[in-house]
Structure 1
Amino acid sequence: MVDKASEALLYAAERGCLQGVKAALKAGADIDYAQPDNEVTGKGTALFIASYFRHTDIMTLLIRKGASMTKRTTMFASAPLHGAVTYEGKTDALELLFRHGATLDIRDCYQRTPLMLACMFGYVDTVRKLIQLGARVDLKDTGPTTAQMYCEKAEEGGNCSRAQKETMVKLIQEARLRCCNPTCGKPGDRSTLKLCGQCKLTRYCSRDCQKQHWTVGHKKSCGHDGYSEPSPLKKLWTSGRIFDFMTYVVPETS
């Protein structure tokens, strides 16, 4: 019964049906449920799905009910914040997650941050918003590739124009570190903004700001924002299911 309710929760989250989400939760759905046998398609939790499709009313309800902001998809280990940067000019979902404690520099299985993905897609407004909120521009993924390098690749891959790339590069080069408390955002540098002692990813201008951000929701994310497990694709390879993945992405033609 719980599995049926949980499946209904995912369906309602994808369709943007707030009443359906409420009904599924009332029926006993696991709020952090993700299809256990869906390694190939990499389905995420209801919060990830709602973040991906920017159903902010559903996101608000799920967050209020205690949904995890760090549980990952099975394929690329993406968190809800990774899903929230998928549309240019639409930053309401990522701002909502940030206000409730999501860490801006959360990593996926390739150590990519949401800022790196926004640069890769060529989403100027999303890049601007992430930097305004305090996302770090100096981090590297497993490439190692930086956010600025992703901007270069975005133009080469046709995801953005030269003007858009130049704008993103300028934003990155002029970026300053900021206090991660959503109600503060005070700019600073490494000498004035102190790292969270546990996750080493968030920075604060004062102890009061750190305490406030912890209460708002960072306590749910702290220590869960990095990713040190083997790549999900590597897991598929070692388990022999990589052929399932290849069949999924390259379907047979009749």
Structure 2
Amino acid sequence: MKSLIHKKERLYFTLAIITSIFAYILLGLTVVGILIFAALMAAMLFFHALMMAQIRTNAVKLSPAQFPEMNEIVNELCVRMEMPKVPDVYVMESSGVLNAFATRFFGRNMVVLYSEVFELSKKDGQEELTFVIAHELAHLKRRHITKQMLIFPVLCVPFASEAYSRACEYTCDRMAAHYTDNAEAAINGLTVLAVGKSLYKDVNRQEYLQHSSEERGFFAWLAEKLSTHPTLPKRIYEIQKVRGDAVTGLFRASKKAAFVGVIGLVLITALTYGAYRYTDQVADVMANAIIGIAGETDITIAAANGDAEQLQSLIDAGSDVNYQDGDGWTALMYSVNGNRPDLMKMLLEAGADPNIAENTYEDTALTMSLNHDTTDAVELLVQHDAVVNLQDSYGITPLMIAALSGRADMVQVLMGLGADPGLQDNDGRTAHMFASDEGHEEVAKLLK
């Protein structure tokens, strides 16, 4: 199960628990601090218990006599997920809202499904509903509710608690897709949450993800950082990424947006304090800061914009060709993503390292090139020292990604360049297994 846990969940929880321990110590130094903490905890537990009691006395509980088919699915999922006890599962009227959540009530685990979601069981959407249930069971298996109680002081800190919560959501999506063994239903289930249970099958998924990835800027960045859940397109993309068929290059975070976001928050505070005296001066500072950030002086921005002249100028001026932006993207990655072999060659000849991995999905320039229609970029990168058998933290190699995607041409080229079909990922799977599982018979034959 460890490979299913999002790497940032462990990191954020460790930081949160350390911070919380210090907060508990500080609160415990004074009687007033202890009383304040006790009062807050008591109030929170009281209102939570009151809400759960209302649900338990009004909602419909799944049982062998109540929605028996879905009750059996819940039991089967709990067995697969090695959960010692089946939680109480309730269905409640939701006034059209699509949602579900996991919680606890005096030591008893609960899953609450809104009726709008549960109706999928009657609309040929049972597999999608199964994913939603498995996602909530994953929260219980990972004890996210209990952990949130332990890091209560951090929950009051903007950005910090939301970051941990988003990482937990990624983990539960992965676990649900794994234990249901149906990534397609997982993606459909998330699409249901976006457009509803009647329209989700008509959504052009790639267009949906592409459009969302193009929504950038300060407010888009701030909205995401203040949210407890990642955006639905990002969650879909993460499942595609784990499955191995994601289109690389989507959802690269804008360095400008993040930087402008931080600067913007600082400036808002400053403006609130001194606007009555320094309105004009502060406005000028803000404008100059934003203009400076937006200026195309960064080598990664030049590559992302496909500006060959600017890129060459920066290289000649001694810019670091292996500079990584906030998401770990290099100029070479941007040139691969933009399918610009001229820029790729320019950077590689200037010393760009094709084996650097970006931060979010551990993509390298080589794995990004697997989405191209031709194999030219792959060959160019390997000629310039791209490691064809490089494995990420999950043990995934470029050959496995090509096999999973059914790209016989890429598989042939990679093997011709020295890719080892015998390598295994962390779960013991080979490229041949990936191809066979996805029904890519031609690719599977090449890998025997």
TM-score, normalisation: structure 2: 0.33
Q: Distance in 1 between matches of 2:297 and 2:366?
A: 22
Do the aligned partners of 1:6 and 1:24 also contact (CA within 8 Å) in 2? Answer: no
Aligned partners of 1:73 and 1:113: how far apart in 2?
Answer: 15
In the alignment, the residues of structure 2 paired with residue 15 and residue 122 of structure 1 have an alpha-carbon distance, to the nearest angstrom, of 30
Cα drift, residue 4 of structure 1: 7.8
**2:322 maps to which residue?**
32
- Structure 2 match to 1:44: 329
Deviations 1:82-141 (A, max 9, x none): 111123x41101100111222210112212111111112221211111112221001011
State the 1:6 CA deviation.
8.3
Equivalences for residues 146-185 of structure 1 within 5 A: 146-155=430-439, 165-173=440-448
Residue 192 of structure 2 corresponds to which residue in structure 1?
A: none
Task: Please report how far the alpha carbon of residue 7 of structure 1 lies from its aligned counterpart in structure 2 after TM superposition.
Answer: 6.1
**1-structure distance, mates of 2:434, 2:338:** 23
Contact 2:315 2:350 in 1 (8 A): no
* In structure 1, distance between residues paired with 2:341 and 2:361: 23
Q: Distance in 2 between matches of 1:5 and 1:140?
A: 45
Report the Cα offset of residue 16 of structure 1.
Answer: 2.7
| Closer/same/farther in 2, CA of residues 24 and 4 from structure 1, 3 Å limit | farther
One-letter identity of the residue aligned with 2:445: K
Matched, 1:108 2:398: no
In structure 1, what is the equivalent of residue 362 of structure 2? 77
What letter is aligned with 2:434? Answer: Y
What amino acid is the match of 1:79? T
Q: How many Å separate the matches in 1 of 2:319 and 2:329? A: 15
Q: Compare relative contact order (CA 8 Å, sep 6+) and give the higher one, 1 or 2.
A: 1
Equivalent residue runs for 1:53-202 within 5 Å: 53-87=338-372, 89-155=373-439, 165-173=440-448
Aligned CA distance change for structure 1 residues 21 and 171 (closer, same or farther; 3 Å): same
Give the match for residue 249 of structure 2. none
Give the structure with the larger helix fraction.
2
1:162 corresponds to which residue? none
Specify the structure having the higher radius of gyration (Cα). 2
**Within 1, Cα distance between the matches of 2:349 and 2:307?**
17
Separation in 1 of the partners of 2:347 and 2:426? 32
Question: Is the Cα–Cα contact under 8 Å of residues 50 and 58 in structure 1 kept in the other structure?
Answer: yes
Q: Deviations over 1:3-25 (max 9, x none)?
A: 98886322232233311311333
Unaligned 5+ segments in structure 1 are 156-164, 174-254
- Is 2:302 the partner of 1:12? yes
Map Cα deviations across residues 131-170 of structure 1 (whole Å, 9 max, x no partner).
Answer: 1222100101112221011113434xxxxxxxxx111011
Q: Secondary structure at the match of 1:59?
A: helix
Within 2, Cα distance between the matches of 1:50 and 1:95? 15
- Match of 1:64, as an amino acid? E
Match of 2:101 in 1: none
CA distance in 2, matches of 1:148, 1:131: 12
The one-letter code of the counterpart of 1:86 is N
| Cα distance, 1:63 vs structure 2 | 1.0
Q: 1:104 to 1:5 in 2, by over 3 A?
A: farther
Matches within 5 A, 1:235-246: none
Report the CA distance between 1:48 and its aligned residue: 1.9
2:313 aligned to 16, 19, 23, which one?
A: 23
* SS in structure 1 at match of 2:404: helix
Alpha-carbon separation, structure 2, partners of 1:24 and 1:4 = 16
Q: How many residues align?
A: 157
Q: Distance in 1 between matches of 2:426 and 2:339?
A: 28
What's the offset of the Cα at 1:51?
Answer: 2.4
Cα pair 1:5 1:28 within 8 Å, conserved: no
Q: TM-score, normalised by structure 1?
A: 0.56
Q: Deviations over 1:159-198 (max 9, x none)?
A: xxxxxx111011111xxxxxxxxxxxxxxxxxxxxxxxxx
Alignment of 1:196-211 (within 5 A): none
Kindly, what percent of the aligned residue pairs are identical?
29
2:312 and 2:294 map into 1 onto residues whose CA distance is 14
CA change 1:7–1:70 in 2 (3 A) is farther
The 1:146–1:7 alpha-carbon spacing in structure 2 relative to 1, beyond 3 Å, is farther
Q: Following the alignment from structure 1 to structure 2, what is the Cα–Cα distance between the partners of residues 5 and 26?
A: 19
Give the direction of change, closer, same or farther, for the CA distance of 1:5–1:104 in structure 2 (3 Å limit): farther
Whole-angstrom distance in 2 between the partners of 1:7 and 1:149: 45
